[in-house]
């Protein structure tokens, strides 16, 4: 059984951008109705109602943030989270290499503090421990946070934002390094989240954030990576505007192969002494050349996704008519 949770057209309702508040008038792609990903059904649930939500993706013509409405609350998604980061050995190896590199780059030591937001099961912070760097994880899902504690990784079960940042500062905690890997997309209130990082960061501290790059998603037609748990999809152009909005500076960027093509960005306080790497301007210029400030570029992605759907349906119908067997394997999320 299926229950559809419908909403009026967000464009007609004048929904504001979750970053800059601009009225959203442009659609990236409408993927119809879909159940939440990783919402695995037990055998006894198969005859029960399953909720379907819209997957209508919008884009802001002021800050270029690609976004979904918040159809599902973070509390619903993260109270008991199904994904444990340590299940992926390649992701753990990626995290270990990062910890070793950033420790050297920032000169972290026993008097430093590295804080990871959405620290999951301690997959990353565990690698700082043998390096002698004190750590603290912030993780809203109690089930994965308990796994981190078993690894010896101090972890708070809470959602991060200005409220928690002020509480941590009142306790004498300030971060030399704040890490956010694949969490920014899952934050409905971006401004509260980024403002919280600004509060928690030491004057010469650094923030690193990893997220899938919307440029790669669009260029490679990765519409299958869009789902309700990810509220936002980022270009470096958007990140630069977001940083400036909160008194931060974009000081470096790296392109990564993870998650279909990601960016790792480095932020520092606006008044800090950190220099800006040339890679920042080079990538900003490339995004502009590729049309990421032009709404036509985003609209054409929707057309490309629809063509992929029609081509697949034509193939399936043809194969069925020819009496062929069709095998499928799906692992979304």
Tell me, yes or no, if the pTM score tops 0.85: yes
Strands 248-256 and 155-156: unpaired
Sorting pLDDT into bands at 50, 70 and 90, what band is 73? low
Is the confidence at residue 330, as pLDDT, over 80? no
State CA 197 to chain mean position distance: 15
Q: Which residues 6+ apart lie within 8 Å of 140 measured at CB?
A: 74, 78, 79, 118, 157, 158, 159
Question: Is the model's pLDDT at 281 over the cut of 90?
Answer: yes
Structural domains present in the chain? 85-289 (3.40.50.150)
The answer to whether residue 171 scores a pLDDT higher than 90 is yes
Query: Mean of the pLDDT values across residues 316-329?
Result: 90
| pLDDT above 90 (res 326) | no
Looking at every residue in the chain, the average pLDDT score rounds to: 90
Q: Do residues 89 and 118 touch, judged by C-beta distance below 8 A?
A: no
Q: Which of 145, 156, 141, 157 is nearest to 79 (CA)?
A: 141
Residue whose token pair is 């899902």:
141
Q: Which residues pair with 242 in a beta bridge?
A: none
Query: pLDDT at residue 77 above 80?
Result: no
Range in 65-74, 80-89, 100-109 the model is least confident about: 80-89
- Region of poorest pLDDT, from 37-46, 216-225, 240-249: 37-46
Tell me the percentage of the chain whose pLDDT exceeds 90. Answer: 73
Contact between 141 and 77 (Cβ < 8 Å) = no
- In the predicted model, is pLDDT for residue 331 greater than 80? no
Contact status, residue 34 vs residue 253, Cβ threshold 8 Å: no
When mean pLDDT is compared across 34-38, 149-153, 167-171, 317-321, the lowest value belongs to: 34-38
């Amino acid at each position: 059984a299926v229950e559809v949770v419908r909403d009026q057209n967000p464009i007609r309702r004048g929904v504001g951008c979750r970053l800059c508040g601009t009225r959203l008038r442009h659609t990236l792609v409408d993927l119809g109705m879909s159940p939440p990903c990783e919402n695995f059904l037990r055998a006894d649930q198969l005859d029960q109602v399953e909720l379907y939500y819209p997957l209508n993706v919008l884009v802001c013509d002021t800050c270029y943030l690609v976004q979904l409405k918040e159809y599902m609350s973070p509390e619903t998604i993260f109270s008991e989270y199904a994904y444990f980061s340590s299940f992926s050995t390649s992701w753990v190896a990626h995290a270990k290499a990062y910890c070793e590199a950033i420790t050297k780059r920032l000169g972290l030591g026993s008097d430093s503090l590295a804080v990871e937001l959405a620290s999951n099961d301690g997959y990353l912070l565990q690698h700082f421990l043998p390096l002698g760097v004190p750590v603290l994880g912030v993780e809203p899902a109690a089930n994965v946070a308990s796994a981190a504690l078993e690894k010896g990784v101090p972890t708070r079960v809470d959602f991060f934002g200005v409220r928690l940042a002020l509480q941590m500062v009142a306790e004498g905690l300030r971060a030399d390094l704040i890490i956010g890997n694949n969490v920014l997309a899952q934050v409905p209130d971006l401004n509260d989240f980024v403002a919280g990082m600004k509060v928690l960061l030491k004057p010469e501290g650094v923030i690193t954030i990893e997220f899938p790059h919307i440029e790669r998603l669009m260029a490679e037609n990765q519409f299958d990576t869009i789902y309700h748990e990810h509220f936002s999809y980022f270009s470096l152009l958007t990140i630069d505007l977001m940083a400036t909005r909160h008194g931060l500076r974009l000081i470096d960027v790296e392109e990564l192969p993870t998650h279909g093509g990601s960016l790792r960005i480095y932020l520092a306080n606006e008044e800090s002494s950190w220099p800006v790497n040339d890679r920042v301007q080079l990538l900003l210029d490339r995004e502009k050349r590729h049309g990421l400030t032009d709404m036509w570029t985003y609209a054409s992605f929707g057309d490309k996704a629809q063509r992929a759907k029609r081509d697949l349906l034509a193939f399936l119908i043809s194969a069925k008519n020819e009496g062929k067997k069709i095998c499928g394997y799906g692992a979304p999320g």
